[in-house]
């Protein structure tokens, strides 16, 4: 009889200890899930900030590369203007080149404006 009581006490103690350890494990898993949720929200915030920064940089790049801005900067800051004479150097496939001068026809003010504003910037201009 005494042995059975001790056995039952031991079984109840083991059951309570197991339940306590199980609850402790579940609690620690919940805390870890909260930690991971916090990290995920932080990474999401960083991604959103990076996307906003990229959008601002793209807008700034587009404004810096606009033909009107390039022309106004070159004209005002660098003192550049339209060339009065154009020199063309043609290089043949064998490496020989013919250098000759070709006078360009005068360009009207409207054609100049159309070149600057009307299309994308080109290295040919």
pLDDT at residue 86 tops 80: no
pLDDT attached to residue 72: 87
Over the range 51-66, which residues count as b (16 or more CB within 10 Å of their CB) and which as e? eeeeeeeeeeeeeeee
Residue 76 in contact with residue 82, Cβ under 8 Å? no
What pTM was computed for the model?
A: 0.45
pLDDT attached to residue 2: 84
- The pLDDT tens digits for 40-68 are 999 999 999 999 999 999 999 988 888 88
């Amino acid at each position: 009889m005494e042995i059975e009581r001790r056995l039952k006490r031991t079984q109840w103690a083991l059951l309570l200890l197991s339940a306590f350890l199980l609850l402790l494990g579940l609690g620690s898993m919940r805390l870890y899930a909260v930690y991971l949720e916090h990290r995920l929200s932080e990474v999401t915030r960083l991604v959103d900030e990076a996307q906003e920064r990229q959008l601002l940089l793209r807008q700034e790049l587009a404004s810096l590369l606009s033909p009107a801005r390039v022309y106004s900067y070159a004209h005002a800051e660098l003192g550049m203007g339209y060339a009065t004479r154009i020199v063309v150097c043609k290089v043949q496939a064998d490496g020989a080149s013919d250098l000759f001068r070709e006078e360009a026809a005068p360009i009207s003010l409207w054609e100049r404006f159309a070149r600057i504003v009307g299309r994308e910037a080109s290295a040919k201009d």
